[in-house]
Amino acid sequence: MAEITESLPLKRSSVEAAHAAIKEYIHYTPVLTSQTISKLASTPQSPEALVGTAFEGQTPARPKIRLFFKCENYQKVGAFKSRGAFHALSRLSQEQLSKGVVTHSSGNHAQALALAASTHGIKSYIVMPTISTPSKIAATKGYGAEVIFSGSTSQEREAVVEDVMRKTNATLIPPYDHPDIILGQGTMALELEEQVKELIQRDEWLSQHGSSRKREAGHPTTDGSGSCESNVKQNHEHQGRHLDAVIAPLGGGGMLGGLATAFSGTGTMVFGAEPSFEGADDGRRGLEVNQRITSVKTLTIADGLRTPVGEINWAIISDKSKVEGVYAVSEDQILSAMKLVVERMKVLVEPSAVVGLAVCLYNESFRRLVEEKGGEDGWDLGIILSGGNTTLEAMAKMFASEEAERAAGKVGKDGKRVAENVAG
């Protein structure tokens, strides 16, 4: 693909240009609300719930939050990755397109690039670890890609990619660590921003700020779950207000880097969310020591986040003016958040998608921050539901027991259960 020096600069205007280039190929995914889940996020956790955690003995935080869910599980291929893939191809020359494209991915980027390539009528070569989810392998093949299997480690996968490039002259489209990918993923921020403003203009009660004023004025409240509209008189003071913050899952960092680029200078704060299992929270740990962590070996159920933050994305994420912080949650907390979204919102999501929601519900450090910064007025908070590529069989295993299988593909080529730097 385009050399980094030839890519558009990482700024909001470039995200806008990326959106113009890809909008005919992607879905304008919906933004949903849930008063039930917002209420849960605004309710202090019980002291008993904090026993055994780093927050045991602390007074539970009392944040006030209204949540707005950007549902990228409804995006083409069932995940946000389509945005980056289509934008990356839009930046290639006709000569490059004629020779095809190649990448390595465990699933969502694989499917996204395969779809983008078939849409443009070109060849795609996808290198997938043998531990990739069978349904994702089948879907990638279904979009017309030639799938080549490799071992699980980054060295094995990159060696196979190099071999494909040498034989075909195909252009490498990396999963996350390239400006063209980052800018493509950032396009969801423009939509989220616009959609939330439209929702609040129709019903100011959806905003934490509008509801705060209503309580002060003695207006009655409502209950229930899901997106709603009403004939409540619009509050013109609030119509132009931006989201207070957005939180998104962090794996390789393409999506979080794109969101941070798009929201930079708008007044909307950006946060990242990671699983803590087996060191999957490399972004959070890296920020603590002010150094990017280059290797991740984890079998977290959030399989799309089993990879370290990329170099370019690290430069964005480690910039405090662009990303306020990164927070981590446990496997049980991820499953609890997933269960809420499926049962209360009737929205099918994969574990990686709900890590941000889990932080809002269970991470006391984040919740304390919202309480302190938001005060009595609280926050309107955007949640990125990044994808929905799971199966009923996989969900049944996840919720069957605490020892549920952590990967649909159990072993690598050498017979060992290893997952290292696996790109989502």
Residues classed as catalytic: 81, 106
Report the DSSP beta bridge partners of residue 249: 273
Helices 12-22, 81-90: axis angle to 10 degrees equals 90
Task: Say if strands 245-249 and 124-129 run parallel, antiparallel, or are unpaired.
Answer: unpaired
CA angle 33, 271, 324 (to 5 degrees): 140
Three-state helix/strand/coil letters over 246-276: EEEECCCCHHHHHHHHHHCCCCCEEEEEEEC
311: alpha, beta or left? (left if phi > 0; alpha if psi -120 to 50): alpha
DSSP secondary structure code for residue 4 in this structure = G
> Which three-class secondary structure state does DSSP give residue 10?
coil
Between CA 315 and CA 325 the distance in angstroms is 13
The C-alpha R_g of the chain, in whole angstroms, comes to 21
The beta strand positions in 101-231, using DSSP E, are 101-104, 124-129, 146-150, 171-172
Helices 187-202, 254-263: axis angle to 10 degrees equals 60
Task: Please provide the size of the chain in residues.
Answer: 424
Task: From 104, 109, 107, 105, select the one nearest 83 (Cα to Cα).
Answer: 109
